[in-house]
């Protein structure tokens, strides 16, 4: 098991569109284990492969408070969207910032599970929001893309300044 490094906004690699997974093999399953370890350690409720600089269509989620509902979704496709909900979202790639985002309230998603078998999941509430947030990552999109340009630029500048500051302290 290995904890992976999470890319942070405005890293341009977060804008990569991920490509479909062709084979669900042991190597992919090792990546899935490492992504769960990274997500739980953060801690977070979801993680897309894009965030760990692997540009394959793969995400992991677990919205439970006791790490009891892990789900790995490979090549996820939303096949139904219903209703609307506003949630204050955060992102491990935009640390320290939270903004309200409008999403579908209820979704149905089709994917391959970690055994390579076709599966479907019906989700609502936070799980539905999280899956939509992760699929956005696979398309190179971040939750800050839904807020104003001015706010996004402010977040961008602050994160870049924090990063410079951390580099100076480490010297």
Classify 116 in phi/psi space as left (phi over 0), alpha (psi -120 to 50) or beta. left
**Is 47 a binder of ligand GNR (CB under 6 A)?**
yes
Binds 130, which of ligand GNR, Ni ion, none (CB < 5 to 8 A, cut-off by type)?
A: ligand GNR
Contact code string over 78-117 relative to Ni ion, x by CB under 5 A: -------------x--------------------------
**Contact (CB, 8 A) for 74 and 24:** yes
Which of 24/58 has CB closer to Ni ion? 58
Q: Which of residues 34, 62, 89, 99 is near ligand GNR by CB under 6 A? A: 89
In the shown chain, the binding pattern of residues 41 to 80 toward Ni ion, with x for contact by CB under 5 A and - for none, equals ----------------------------------------
Q: How far lies 146's CA from each of 60, 88, 149, 150, in Å?
A: 22, 12, 9, 12
Site for ligand GNR in 130-149 (CB under 6 A): 130, 133-134, 137
Query: Could you tell me where the beta strands, DSSP code E, fall in 3-153?
Result: 46-48, 58-61, 71-82, 85-89, 99-103, 106-112, 118-124
Distance CA 157, CA 161 (A): 6
Q: How far is the CB of 121 from Ni ion (least distance, A)?
A: 19
Short-list 74, 48, 58, 56, CA closest to 19: 56
Classify residue 115 by its DSSP letter.
T
Question: Nearest residue by C-beta to ligand GNR?
Answer: 44
Whether 37 is catalytic is no
Binding site for ligand GNR (CB under 6 A): 44-48, 51, 87, 89-93, 129-130, 133-134, 137
Active-site residues, by number, are 134
């Amino acid at each position: 098991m290995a904890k992976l490094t999470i890319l942070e906004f405005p890293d341009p690699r977060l804008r990569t569109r991920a490509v479909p997974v062709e084979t669900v093999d042991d190597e992919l399953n090792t990546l899935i284990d490492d992504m769960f370890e990274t997500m739980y350690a953060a801690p977070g409720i979801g993680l897309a492969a894009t965030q760990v600089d692997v540009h394959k269509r793969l995400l992991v989620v677990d919205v439970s408070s006791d790490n009891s509902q892990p789900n790995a979704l490979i090549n996820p496709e939303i096949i139904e969207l219903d209703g609307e909900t506003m949630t204050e979202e955060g992102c491990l790639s935009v640390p320290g910032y939270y903004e309200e985002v409008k999403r579908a309230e209820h979704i149905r998603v089709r994917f391959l599970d970690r055994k390579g078998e076709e599966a479907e999941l019906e989700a609502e509430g936070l799980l539905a929001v999280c899956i939509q947030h992760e699929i956005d990552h696979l398309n190179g999109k971040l939750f800050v893309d839904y807020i104003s340009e001015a706010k996004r630029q402010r977040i961008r500048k602050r994160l870049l300044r924090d990063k410079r500051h951390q580099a100076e302290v480490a010297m």
